[in-house]
Structure 1
Amino acid sequence: MKSLKFAVIGTGFWANYQIPAWFTVGGVELIALYNRTRARADAFARQFNVPNVYDSIDELLDHHAHELDFVDIITDVDTHLHFTRKAAERGLDVICQKPMGPSLHEARQMLEICQKAGTRLYIHENFRWQTPIRAVKTVLESGVIGRAFKARVSFCSAFPVFDNQPFLAELEQFILTDIGSHILDITRFLFGEAQSIYCQTARINPHIKGEDVANVLLRMKSGLSCYVEMSYASILEKEAFPQTLVSIEGSAGSLVLTNDYVLKTTTAAGTTTTTVPPSNYAWADPAYALVHSSIVACNQNLLADLQLQNRSLTGPAETTGSDNFETIRLVYAAYDSARRNEVVNLTN
């Protein structure tokens, strides 16, 4: 199968890992880079041997749209709609970083623009592709713990995330958009869709603009109740970053994913313990190794769908734009709930 040609839009923090992850997957050729600051794009071009560099998105697309198969948008959320529209107008498939959009309205516009243009939209949602999370899903689907009725999904840390991503401190809406878009997607991946949501938020760090703590209670359509907690203000005995910890209770047993990728399954017969660590890559930051390895798995899944020639076919991609729209609905419903201090009922 021929390699697909693509362009990267945005050469900030995450492009340092998204690009080598593509090279690890293979089957693609990066032919152009865009960044509003040309010098940053030039540096990436030298590092990754990319032949074409632009600080104008129109120039990039005017010169290369005819040979591109897709674009990978790795920019701030406020620009996602703009770049998606530019690519879709030229008939290009789009991969876009999370969160999908800065509002539910803009996320819906992204979907509609691509649907009208007949192009495919994917959201690069990689957390559900983490090795431990896939292992939890496998055990859950095996039926060994019976019907799941209660769960807790936790991402609580004191990791200094603002040190290497200082722009996060300037966001008016922080943890629910930054981490919540990941953790709520994990919840959907494991347990299906939610029928109601209740959320409380807080800002503990006085030097940031947005909330750094969010506690969410979800009632899933399956009847399962799920407590989702997120914090960047938690000084704990054991720092878990960037791990998501999971606890599930079922009618025939329980399942716990705890620190250091330890997975414990308990039934009447006793407890079975396994370790499910991620793959290691030389280009990954050790502090983010779990996250960075999942970028590879996510890219593999998206590439398999991109390689389908018939765009009307339903392929193997999990995090399509239409699927991730359900995650972003939860993010903004959580903000709505916190603002109103009310349970928000979700309807399709």
Structure 2
Amino acid sequence: MDFSQTVDSFTRRDWQGTTDGTVRFALVGLGWWTVDEAIPAIRDTDLCEVTVLVSRSQEKAQRFAEEADVPHATAGADFHDGDCADAYDAVYVATPNAYHLEYVQTAAELGKAVLCEKPMESTVERAERMVEVADDTGIPLMVAYRMHTEPAVRRARELVAGGTIGEPVQVYGNNSQSLLSLIDDPDQWRLDPDASGYGTSMMDLGIYPINTTRFILESDPVSVQAQMASTHEAFADVPDERSTATAVYEDGVHAAFTATQNAYEDTELKITGTEGQLTLSPAFHMDCELAVETDDRSFAAAADDVNEMTEEFDYFADRVLTGESMSADGDHGLYDMRVLEALHESAETGKTVTLE
């Protein structure tokens, strides 16, 4: 795809297979992301509606259901017993990482499609069990990498595939935010390894540039190195308040990624090729702008009127309704979990870790 075609059709849904039908969702986990981002985004979809809210307590679920005008609410224990099962077709799991598996298992037993937030789980072993459950029951399982349906990212992928920047050579990505400014609680789950998994910055933030690079280049990391440190007292239980990773992707592309939960907000992904450079900046916090530069051409564009979550939910629903395969399936998410495990292993040992 050339520059002019990219600009002229920047926001097109090249993935859309149907405009008919509705997928009814049960939303599991009523943190700020679900309440402030997912529910409003689903209201603007073409193919989705929220019919059930699930929280650890019936009181909390009922309260948010009334506020959001959602017809059904249930507690987690009742959800596992099949409460409201006739009222939804799919489950969106947005609990802390270490609780994803149990809800996916229940959804699978009930024959419901699953959209599970990234990262898939807290450990590789639990993510493997999730994939096995989905495969054994035959349910659709998608990991919620919303960057895959962000128009700027999809256009970037097309331009790279079309040779616009020549052969990709190197990548730089960063994702940082001040977690304690967002949630003023040092006891929150992202700082608890029992809930978050291997750590906090790479698990929650670094996964964005790592995975978005996978998607744009259509290539996987084959070896990684990392350094991590925690200095702030609130990060005492996790190893990666600050983190740096290097990776070699298939075809020899070298990448460097930084991520921290305790710094000024900044998001960027830059891919340099033999004939040009592609930059996403801002990149990962619900705003994304694509800039491309070569020796003789350049442009910048953003889909300011597109909500990434709306696109993600409609993509998932489209695949459920049409029966088509999902690009970010369980195996795709599981590979990222192995990358995350390898990065933390490298930080502990000081060695390069090869992914098989």
Please state how far the C-alpha of 1:7 moved relative to its aligned partner.
Answer: 1.3
1:121-140 matches, cutoff 5 A: 121-140=141-160
Correspondence for 1:200: 227
Contact 2:214/2:221 (<8 A) preserved = yes
- Structure 1 residue 105 corresponds to structure 2 residue 129: no
Q: What TM-score does the superposition give when structure 1 sets the normalisation length? A: 0.84
Matched, 1:223 2:243: no
CA distance in 2, matches of 1:9, 1:200: 34
**Preserved CA contact (<8 Å) 2:52 2:88:** no
Instruction: Give the corresponding residue for 2:203.
Output: 177
TM superposition shift of 1:3? 1.9
| Residue 97 (structure 1) shift | 1.3
C-alpha distance in structure 2 between counterparts of 1:274 and 1:266, whole Å? 9
- Partners of 1:158 and 1:7 lie apart in 2 by 30
Unpaired segments ≥5 residues, structure 1: 281-292
Q: Relative to 1, partners in 2 of residues 1:157 and 1:6: Cα closer, same or farther, differing over 3 Å?
A: closer
Residues matched between the structures, number: 323
Write the distance in 1 (CA, Å) between the matches of 2:181 and 2:153. Answer: 22
Counterpart mapping for 1:231-310 below 5 A: 231-235=260-264, 239-240=265-266, 244-259=267-282, 263-269=290-296, 272-279=298-305, 293-309=307-323
1:93 and 1:267 map into 2 onto residues whose CA distance is 43
Distance of aligned partners of 1:7 and 1:261 in 2 relative to their CA distance in 1, 3 Å threshold = closer
Match of 1:326 among 305, 311, 335: 335
**CA offsets per residue over residues 90-138 of structure 1, 9 Å max, x none?**
2211111121011000000001011111111111121343344334323
Equivalent pair of 1:162/1:169 in contact (CA under 8 Å):
no
C-alpha distance in structure 2 between counterparts of 1:128 and 1:308, whole Å: 19
Shift of 1:56: 4.0
Q: Does the 8 A contact of 1:200 with 1:216 survive in 2? A: yes
Kindly indicate whether residue 341 of structure 2 is the aligned counterpart of residue 337 of structure 1.
no
Is 1:9–2:28 an aligned residue pair?
yes
Report Cα offsets for 1:272-297 as digits up to 9, x if no partner.
131325336xxxxxxxxxxxx21111
Report the residue type matching 2:298 in the other structure: T
Paired residue secondary structure (2:53): strand
2:216 is aligned to 190
Q: Which stretch has the larger CA shift, 153-162 or 218-227?
A: 153-162
Q: Give the 3 Å change call, closer, same or farther, for CA 51–346 of structure 1 in structure 2.
A: same
**Matched residue of 2:88: which SS?**
coil
Letter in 2 for 1:276: A
Secondary structure, aligned partner of 2:213: helix
3-state DSSP class of the match of 2:279? Answer: strand
For residues 45-78 of structure 1, give each alpha carbon's deviation from its aligned partner in whole angstroms, at most 9, with x where no partner exists.
1122122211144357534324532111121111
Superposition deviation, residue 157 in structure 1:
4.2
CA contact (8 A) 2:72 2:84 kept: no
Amino acid at match of 2:332: D
Q: Is the 8 A contact 1:7 1:31 kept in 2?
A: yes
- Tell me how far apart the structure 1 counterparts of residues 354 and 65 of structure 2 sit (CA, whole Å): 48
Question: 2 CA distance for matches of 1:14 and 1:185?
Answer: 20
Partner of 1:290: none
The 3-state SS of whatever aligns with 1:26 is coil
Distance 1:52-1:143 versus aligned 2 partners, 3 A rule: same
